Amino acid sequence: MMTKTFKFLILISLLLISINASTSKGTPSRDHLTEQEAGLVADNQELDKRIAIFIKTIERRFLLIANPNATQSKKEQETFGDFPKGTRAELLMDIAKIIDESISNIENVNDKDPSNPLIAKSLRKFGEACKGFVTQLSTMLNQTKEDRERVAIEKAIENAQMVIEAANKLPAETKKK
């Protein structure tokens, strides 16, 4: 008798957990890259080119945040596709996630081939870009009153600071003669 009751309680608990998990999400997860941007990342296997794409995708979101009616050149439209859709908070969270994905890409290459010269090159380039991103994000953080935006901005700043710190630890770049 006790065993049937115990099994019933476990079944009810699992059911409640699954219901809670499905309702707490509310809406399906949003991709931080558009389909065309994700395709560009997949097509460019060299780390420095991927990082350049990630930087551009972040810049596109900053442009949209500053000017929701922004337009892009025909060439950029053909390359990157339509601007991403989303609220200001969603675009800010995209930025945090793109920075995080960039970090993962750099770490993955480093894990596979620590002597790859593209690691330092990419990290320096991304570190410089992140300095500008932190400046923009810090200004936004001081101006925002919405909690979702604040969380997204803080996460993006945290991710960008990690990139900047890692780039600052690199040995001085040697110039080729």
* Helix extents (H) in the chain: 2-25, 35-43, 47-66, 74-80, 88-112, 117-143, 147-168
Please report where in the chains the tokens 């110039």 appear, as a residue.
175
SS3 30: coil
- What digits encode the pLDDT tens for the residues 110-166? 999 999 999 999 999 999 999 999 999 999 999 999 999 999 999 999 999 999 999
The rounded mean pLDDT for the chain is: 87
DSSP state of 116: -
70 close to 63: Cβ distance less than 8 angstroms: yes
Q: Which residues of 137-152 are buried (b: 16+ CB within 10 A; e: fewer)?
A: beebbeebeeeebeeb
Domain boundaries, the chain: 31-168
